[in-house]
Amino acid sequence: MRHELDEGELASLRRRWSTAEGRVYPLAMVNVAAYQQAIEAIAALVAFLREETGDHAALVACAADPTAALDRLDADALGLVHVSVEDLVDAACASRDRELLQLQDQQRRREAAAAAADAGLAWMDIASAAVRGLLAGVPELRVHLPSRLGVRTWLQPDVDTGEPLLRLTPVALDPDTGALAALDEPDDLDLTAQDRAGWDAVLARLATLWGLEVDAQTSPIVDVDAHDPTLDGGSHDR
């Protein structure tokens, strides 16, 4: 029976999965043999989850009843090195959760790029999920579709005051896969801003370096949820 996805349940599971990772991965510092065995077990479990969980509802269902996943493990051998099977399953679920979030983000980018292209836009915006604060006033992602160059925006604390700043990361988008690749950053350009006006100014300077013209009328065309801030892998041929 398919497990209905409950966001509250998923949030609770994520906390549990994160706690399990916090117990498993530090083994590398105290018991190398146990750590190696744990990593191999987690890899086997993640492989199973990739086969069986195509979305978060399926992942939650598997977390609720991991019987089939446990068939991939030698529980007796793991017990000899005092590695909790439950923690291994939870750590594998955490890894698969991140993969699913990345796949969702890539799908949103593919759809946004296609929609912008259909509308004849040179620039694609994906709105920030933030409803207040600095991030609420800027796109999470802006990409120039013909060149595939753009910026992704985060919050970064000011090193002197601790106050939040907008941080622009140059990226390249693969519109066919939705993957992002981080680009080299100019050494002589401050990529932080205190507000939207500063953000626009940084983007304009980057666009000038790339030989691009910024469309000031660009506005977000899709709304997305914010997920793991880790950039996806990918490549870009200039």
How many domains are contained in the chain?
Answer: 2
Task: Tell me: do 192 and 130 sit in the same domain.
Answer: yes
Identify whether the C-beta of residue 37 lies closer than 8 Å to the C-beta of residue 27.
no
Indicate the residue type of 202: V
The pLDDT value given to residue 33: 85
Do 213 and 129 lie in one domain? The reply is yes
pLDDT at position 220 is 44
Q: Both 100 and 125 in a single domain?
A: no
Is 145 in the same domain as 208? yes
Q: Give 40-84 pLDDT, tens digit per residue.
A: 999 999 999 999 999 999 999 999 999 999 888 877 767 656 778
Q: Are 157 and 165 in contact (CB under 8 A)?
A: yes
Would 235 be classed as within a structural domain? no
Residue 237 lies in a domain: no
Give percent of the chain with pLDDT exceeding 70.
85
Length of the chain: 238
| Residue 230 belongs to some domain of the structure | no
- Specify the pLDDT at position 3: 57
- Farthest CA pair distance, the chain: 63
Residue 132 neighbours by CB under 8 Å, 6+ apart = none
Instruction: State which residues form the domain around 11.
Output: 7-104
SS3 181: strand
Same domain, 127 and 180: yes
